[in-house]
Amino acid sequence: MDYGESSYHRFLEGDQDAFREVFELYRDGLTYFINSYVRNEADAEDLAEDCFVELLLKPKRYNFSSSLKTYLYAIGKNKAINHLKRSARSTPSGNGADFEEFVSSVNSAENDFLADSSSSELRKELLKLKDDYRTALYLVYFENASYKEAGKIMKKSEKQIEKLLYRGKNALKKALQS
């Protein structure tokens, strides 16, 4: 059992401060993970908080069969996808210039970060990858998730995760060489 799960057990037993430990332990990583989908830091922070609210309000849904981190990231992925679906339905109407302005304002904070980053080229190319490639690479190499944990989050088998990583690394390598 990891530190987050033991803190969550203490929370379920009545220690209110233990939930704060869970929140502090997973907040940043979960926010970065969600941001890889929504590409808007403010929305990612809101969605990450929604994940913790769900964990707080529906404690019986987590049954300790997987790690708490895996469970939270799965919630985060679902919330991000739902957010993107809602956003797609409510994109601004009007002329193309309005839409372009909307898209550029949504991505401006991330673009500023990319411009300042020492590994900006790598990050830019990561963002261009297919969602499944980017998600698998992020989970395994940045969050140190096992293939099994990444598979649970992405609803894929370990073999599928292995293939996504292989293809994602090849696509990234090809993009960086060109």
Q: Mind listing the pLDDT tens digit for each residue in 57-96?
A: 998 899 988 899 999 999 999 999 999 988 887 655 444 4
* Helix ranges (DSSP H) in the chain: 3-12, 17-38, 41-57, 68-89, 96-116, 120-128, 131-137, 147-154, 158-177
pTM value? 0.69
Residues 62 and 1 reside in one and the same domain: yes
Residues 142 and 173 reside in one and the same domain: yes
Q: What is the pLDDT of residue 177?
A: 82
Residues 93 and 155 reside in one and the same domain: no
Question: How many Å apart are CA 161 and CA 178, to the nearest integer?
Answer: 26
pLDDT per position as a tens digit, 21-35: 999 999 999 999 999
Residues 6 and 90 reside in one and the same domain: yes
Examine the pLDDT at 100 and tell me if it is beyond 50. no
Residues 21 and 91 reside in one and the same domain: yes
Residues 145 and 61 reside in one and the same domain: no
Residues 93 and 130 reside in one and the same domain: no
CATH number at residue 53: 1.10.1740.10
Q: What is the pLDDT of residue 120?
A: 67
Structural domain range at position 148: 119-178
Residues 163 and 81 reside in one and the same domain: no
Residues 126 and 100 reside in one and the same domain: no
